């Protein structure tokens, strides 16, 4: 599904771009002075700039009344709890949980425990959760696999036209990108696709750089996004086999 993503350039960023233009036009000694001023501006507005960087990865567009809500597997500390909250607030009629594949024999008990915990948490929270059928043997290994599974589910359930995907906030932009590409390739552009950005108790967009977990999330995400841009250019990867 085509979508538009608003890009907001703060006054601070515009100011730095202005100084960069000046830097290219003045003599060497003056360039050094302008460079120092530029660095000082970066330092002064570092909090705003770091928060603006984090917001680039967040898409939070969920609205009430969806036909179904899909919870991405992975982070069981945030996604099931946020999905339960949305369900009880009337955001979706049905709730589905994707199945994470036991991708490594040594980690099989851990992965199975995560799947079981997520389902048990939702049931204990009075959410009638269902497993999302998977087209992949033993379950999904990536957001791409989950997008393909959802596409297959939608083809078999044409009554579902409004869909919410629940995942961690830093993961929402890449997830939306993957789902849009898969939906476009599978004739599902009519689906009203929305993202629900699950918050956590450790960090948010304003303080992510002060925690180890936040640093890992926001430094890994651009690399993963680049991987998706490159690999999803091949249309054969976005059609269920």
pLDDT in tens, 2-23: 444 444 445 666 666 776 676 6
In this prediction, residue 148 carries a pLDDT of: 92
In this prediction, residue 141 carries a pLDDT of: 77
Q: Are strands 192-198 and 162-168 parallel, antiparallel or unpaired?
A: parallel
In this prediction, residue 13 carries a pLDDT of: 63
For tokens 């607030």, the residue is: 89
Pick 95 or 239 by higher pLDDT.
Answer: 95
Confidence of residue 33 (pLDDT cuts 50, 70, 90): confident
Whether the pLDDT of residue 67 is over 70: the answer is: yes
Percent of the chain at pLDDT > 70 equals: 78
Sorted by sequence, the CB contacts under 8 Å of residue 139 that are 6+ apart come out as: 73, 98, 99, 100, 101, 102, 115, 145
Beta bridge partners of 164: 69, 194
User: Over the stretch 182-237, which tens digit does the pLDDT of each residue have?
Assistant: 999 999 999 999 999 999 999 999 999 999 999 999 999 999 999 888 877 665 66
Q: Quick one: which of 230, 233, 135, 218 has its CA closest to 184?
A: 233
- For the chain, domain boundaries: 11-44, 68-238
Whether the pLDDT of residue 129 is over 90: the answer is: yes
Pick 14 or 42 by higher pLDDT.
Answer: 42
Answer CATH for 68-238 from 3.40.50.720, 3.90.79.10, 3.40.50.620, 3.40.50.300:
3.40.50.620
First to last CA, the chain: 20
Percent of the chain at pLDDT > 90 equals: 58
Whether the pLDDT of residue 53 is over 60: the answer is: yes
Whether the pLDDT of residue 137 is over 60: the answer is: yes
Pick 239 or 172 by higher pLDDT.
Answer: 172
In this prediction, residue 143 carries a pLDDT of: 87
Q: Please, what is the average pLDDT of the chain?
A: 85
CA distance 241 to 230: 20
Q: Quick one: which of 58, 237, 194, 73 has its CA closest to 142?
A: 73
Pick 111 or 79 by higher pLDDT.
Answer: 79
Q: Is 139 exposed, middle or buried (0-12, 13-18, 19+ CB in 10 A)?
A: buried
Pick 17 or 53 by higher pLDDT.
Answer: 53
């Amino acid at each position: 599904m085509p979508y538009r993503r608003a890009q907001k350039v703060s006054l601070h960023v515009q100011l730095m771009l202005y100084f960069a233009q000046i830097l290219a036009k003045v003599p060497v000694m003056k360039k050094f002075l302008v460079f120092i001023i530029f660095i000082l501006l970066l330092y002064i507005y570092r909090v705003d700039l770091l928060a603006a960087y984090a917001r680039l990865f967040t898409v939070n567009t969920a609205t009430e009344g969806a036909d179904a809500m899909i919870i991405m597997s992975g982070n069981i500390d945030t996604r099931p709890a946020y999905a339960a909250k949305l369900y009880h607030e009337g955001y979706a009629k049905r709730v589905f949980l994707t199945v994470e594949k036991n991708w490594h024999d040594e980690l099989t008990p851990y992965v199975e425990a995560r799947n079981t915990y997520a389902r048990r948490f939702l049931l204990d929270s009075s959410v009638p959760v269902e497993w999302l059928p998977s087209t992949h043997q033993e379950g999904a290994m990536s957001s791409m696999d989950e997008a393909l599974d959802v596409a297959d589910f939608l083809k078999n359930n044409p009554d579902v036209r409004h869909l919410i995907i629940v995942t961690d906030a830093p993961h929402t932009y890449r997830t939306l990108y993957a789902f849009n590409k898969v939906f476009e390739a599978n004739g599902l552009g009519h689906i009203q696709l929305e993202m629900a950005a699950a918050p956590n108790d450790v960090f948010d967009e304003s303080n992510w750089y002060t925690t180890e977990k936040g640093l890992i999330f926001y430094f890994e995400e651009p690399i993963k996004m680049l991987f998706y841009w490159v690999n999803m250019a091949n249309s054969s990867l976005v059609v269920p086999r």
